Amino acid sequence: MKLPLRTGVAAAAAVLAVVLAIGGCSSNSGTGAGKSGTSATTSNGDAATLLKSATDAMRKVTGMHLSLAVSGNVPNLRVTKLDGDVSNTPQTVATGNATLLLGNNPQDAKFVYVDGHLYSDLGQPGTYTDFGNGASIYNVSVLLDPDKGLAHLLANLKDASVGGTEQVNGVATTKITGNSSADDVATLAGTRLTSENVSTVPTTVWIASDGSSHLVQLKIVPTPDTSVTLTMSDWGKTVTATKPV
């Protein structure tokens, strides 16, 4: 049971990484919102301004709630759903629930990252396994890392343009479409979600236009028939966790 358990936790950690990384981004409070008729040049300029504000805001995020949804069979990703909280102050802490595929069977699992250790009851409901520092599985601290995580992904979104305004999870947002480096996505996720010959991944972000510049949602499309969507809330949330018995 050990091998499939570690494999499943690795997948869960990878998904958590993606979610957390994306959750900290933010954008300028509404510049470009509602300018669907502007020229491509103006749209690109507005997108750059919004992304700069979102990046700055993401770098200040110390905690948040996130939900992840996966559509299709994303390469190297066995998690289909995740709901949890993550924080990096005063140390990295993460808690939540995930659904993973072990073979073709979905398995629900709880996970806790506290005091530098990763724990999960995957395959053994109610009984947690200690995976040490989790370095061989996933370094969850990368998500809120300004140089590797969500802030980095926002700062390096290419070919960005404003795609209009939308309500997401009850929040008014500005939609921005672009492309992320496949390597940046792999760093964030802890695993490569595309084939080696793919260099960029279509990426869409929704930035709050209420003055907070928070990243409300992020969608990555590794292949034409798959997607990974992260929805964030409770930015700045304080997260606590206790070592499982």
Percent of the chain whose pLDDT exceeds 90: 50
Residue 245 lies in a domain: no
- What is the distance between the alpha carbons of residues 231 and 68, in angstroms, rounded to a whole number? 7
For residue 88, give the 3-state DSSP assignment: coil
In a domain, residue 240? The reply is no
What CATH number is attached to the domain comprising 114?
A: 2.50.20.20
CB atoms within 10 A of CB 93: 20
User: 121-162: per-residue pLDDT in tens?
Assistant: 888 899 999 878 765 456 677 778 888 888 999 999 999 999
Give how far Cα 30 sits from Cα of 21, 44, 84, 162, 214, Å. Answer: 22, 14, 28, 11, 11
pLDDT digits (tens, 9 = 90+) for 194-208: 989 999 999 999 999
- Reading across the β-sheet that carries 227-233, which strands appear in turn? 129-130, 117-120, 105-114, 93-102, 79-87, 63-71, 227-233, 215-220, 200-208, 171-181, 158-168
User: Which amino acid is located at 183 in the chain?
Assistant: D
Range of the domain at 30: 2-233
Helices (H), the chain: 2-23, 40-58, 150-155, 182-189
Is residue 241, in this structure, part of any structural domain at all? no
Evaluate if residue 43 carries a pLDDT over 80. no
In a domain, 243, yes or no: no
Domains: count for the chain: 1
